[in-house]
Amino acid sequence: MQNFETVDYRVDEQVAIITLNRPKARNSLTAQMREELYRAMQQANNDETVRVVMLAGAGKGFCAGADLVEEYPDADHDGFITQQLRTEYHPVLQAITESKKPYICAVNGAAAGIGAALAMACDLVVMAEDAFFYSAFGAIALIPDGGTHWQLARYLGSKRAFEMIAESQRLPAAECIQLGMANRLAAPEHLQEEALGWAKSLSNQAPLTLQYSKQLLREAANLTLVETMDREAQIQNIHYRSEDFREGARAFFEKRAPKFTGK
């Protein structure tokens, strides 16, 4: 088990819980935090006893985005920010999207800037009733990054997404639910409990189904219907020949809960 200073990492049953832990700075991401967050995700992704990963934020907000107070000695160099995004931010986001395990995000308060990108990268999102996504880039003459243009265009359409970016708008939790950007609402005081309970429930589902359906849903965005059907046919063979399918079928006929192993 690794030690971290800016994130908390613990495992509860089969759920790894990664909590951004700079509450006084609204969990804004520093270089250290980005590196530790990536290592925590890798630890969860590589732990065979972990089936679901939950991402949360300590304090009053999930994540206020990048820490704009932190200074970098090479910040004046042309291409600095491009390199930083590619080497420090993108690996964190890809650790979520390319993981074989589902990520569930518990959003309290603001998910702003790259914080919103982190939440939207997750497979499932539970939001406190007073939480919101916030595109703050336009207010400081930047553009959203971390795949936010792709995410917003997907959910809002290009015109509504452009309006949100241009005017640095907020999307409240209730609207995120309506748009399909979040799955469930929770009272702020019960957010962690609700998200963890759902994560534990998911950890008892078939790991292969969670893994490959996550993969297929992301692939399907760039495939035709016929191509998607063909990919499903290929991957269904993996499931059909698995021990979990045999266990699931036996449990169905024996009227008991299956015990899946991911094999």
pLDDT in tens, 97-106: 999 999 999 9
pLDDT digits (tens, 9 = 90+) for 174-230: 999 999 999 999 999 999 999 999 999 999 999 999 999 999 999 998 999 999 999
Where is the domain boundary, 159, 180, 202? Answer: 202
User: How many separate domains does the chain show?
Assistant: 2
Q: Residue 227's domain spans which residues?
A: 207-254
Q: Is residue 227 part of a domain?
A: yes
Which single residue is written with the structure tokens 């893994």?
Answer: 211
Residue 157 lies in a domain: yes
Give yes or no for residue 166 having a pLDDT over 90: yes
pTM: 0.93
Written as one letter, the residue type at 32 is Q
- Compute CA distances 103 → 27, 137, 160, whole Å: 19, 25, 27
Does any domain span residue 216? Answer: yes
pLDDT one-digit tens code per residue, 29-47: 999 999 999 999 999 999 9
Residue 112 in any domain: the answer is yes
What CATH number is given to the structural domain containing 84?
Answer: 3.90.226.10
**In this structure, are 156 and 49 located in the same domain?**
yes
Alpha-carbon span 118 to 120, nearest angstrom: 6
